Structure 1
């Protein structure tokens, strides 16, 4: 069971809550990765277009954390999909 469900590296506790089902359809895994990476890309594009003079300094760690979670999870999903397609 531990080999099938890979815990995400972005967890903050000892026991994983969010996992990747490594036996899921590779297309579904790729879709999940695409969704997260697209969301991160869209957020970055929005930030690129905004004026940071209007931003509050406390928002920066929130934005960085969101981008980290989205890109890290997306990359892990891509890795699982890549491994599945090599079988």
Structure 2
């Protein structure tokens, strides 16, 4: 895949994008708290799904269902990690002087 023509200092690409157009990006000019909130939402959803999945018995599960759950968990956790990395990057940036 080729990199999109986005300003690298503002937008971070989510690793879960599967196309060359990268429709999902993180705007690093957003407040770190908002980026962390989005990360928390995804990681919480993955945790809830894992908790539900751990209560199920695999003897009645279809292999395609396990694949679907695994894919959903991957997307949620990877996006959460990308968001946390972006939030850390935003927090480490020096304050821009007010003009």
The answer to whether the superposition gives a TM-score over 0.5 is: yes
Structure 1: 5+ residue stretches without partners: none
Structure 1 partner of 2:26? 20
After TM superposition, the score normalised by the length of structure 1 is 0.94
Structure 1 partner of 2:7? 2
RMSD: 1.0
Larger Rg: 2
Structure 2: 5+ residue stretches without partners: 1-5, 94-99
1:80 to 86, 90, 94: 86
After TM superposition, the score normalised by the length of structure 2 is 0.83
By how many angstroms is 1:68 displaced? 0.5
Question: Which deviations, in whole Å up to 9, do the C-alpha atoms of 1:11-62 show, x marking residues without a partner?
Answer: 1111100110011011000000000000001100111111111211111111
Count residues with an aligned counterpart.
87
Kindly report structure 1 stretches of 4+ aligned residues shifted beyond 3 Å. Answer: none
